[in-house]
Amino acid sequence: MSPRAILLFELAGLLLGALALFFPTGTMIFVFFTLGNLLILIGLAIYIKLVLKDLKKHRVI
């Protein structure tokens, strides 16, 4: 996974979150809020994984 994938996941997640905020009904929250949260968390997980990989490469950890 590349940093571009992180950008894509996080921006998509944030935009879905904005949609859920704009139309706060059961359907929108069920679909967009849940999916948006999931995408942002996937993006964050990939970022943390890449940072840890980088730190190991430079023998920081």
> What whole-number distance in Å separates Cα of residue 19 and Cα of residue 37?
12
Token pair listed for 46: 């990939």
Give yes or no for a contact between 32 and 16, defined as CB atoms under 8 angstroms apart: yes
State in angstroms the smallest separation of the CB of 25 from another protein: 4
> What whole-number distance in Å separates Cα of residue 34 and Cα of residue 54?
30
Q: Binding mask 31-60 vs another protein (x if CB under 8 A, - otherwise)?
A: --x--xx--xx-xx--xx------------
> Which stretches of the chain bind another protein, using CB under 8 A?
3-4, 6-7, 10-11, 13-15, 17-18, 20-22, 24-27, 29-30, 33, 36-37, 40-41, 43-44, 47-48
